[in-house]
Amino acid sequence: MIVQLVCGEVENGLRAHHNSQPSSATSADSLDMAVSQTLLVPITALSTHLGALKGVVPRTIMTALYRRIAKRIADFIFHQQIMYRGSFSLFEGRVIYSEVELWVETCCAAAEQALGGGRQRVQAPWTKTLQAARLVSFDGDEWEKVKDLTFGAKGDTQWEDGLADLLGSPELDRDEVGTLLRRRQ
């Protein structure tokens, strides 16, 4: 019930955030943008809930709750904002990446001490979403390398090794990477 409550509130806030975003981004010069006010609502909700939970439940229960909550929210963001949102520009890809990093930083600030194990433990449920967001923010040589690895004549082992060089151990499969590459304009 706790997972359902927290995730439901955060996902509703995320829907409002996604619906309020303009369909086309402004120039890349405005990458120094402030965090959207509509994004602060779900991020604050998650931070508040995690903070309240860590003061009430034992570490083992907190760890299990955090994993389920973070995984569900990360999957929601992965599917709604990255994978199935339609096409987007490089600028929008960079915005997606900065927002996902903000989610991870929020979780670290709210739950890292309560979980034990440091940043890696907090970041683990976000790995696939972080990799996808980082991928859609690539530009130049990195972007070309991923396209060549994914759509070229490379075998699966070469593809995994090449992607590991760019993203770390890949959580995304080749079809997902191909879909993401096609979505970005």
Q: pLDDT tens for residues 138-164?
A: 999 999 999 999 998 888 889 999 999
Which residue is it, tokens 């760890």?
A: 63
Mean pLDDT of 83-108: 93
Residues 6+ apart with CB under 8 A from 147: 181
pLDDT at 34: 64
Q: pLDDT tens for residues 46-65?
A: 999 999 998 899 989 999 99
Closest listed residue to residue 100, CA positions, set 77, 125, 124:
77
Rounded to two decimals, what is the model's pTM?
Answer: 0.89
End-to-end Cα separation, the chain, in angstroms = 40
Sequence-separated contacts (24+) of 54-58 with Cβ below 8 Å: 54/110, 54/111, 54/113, 54/114
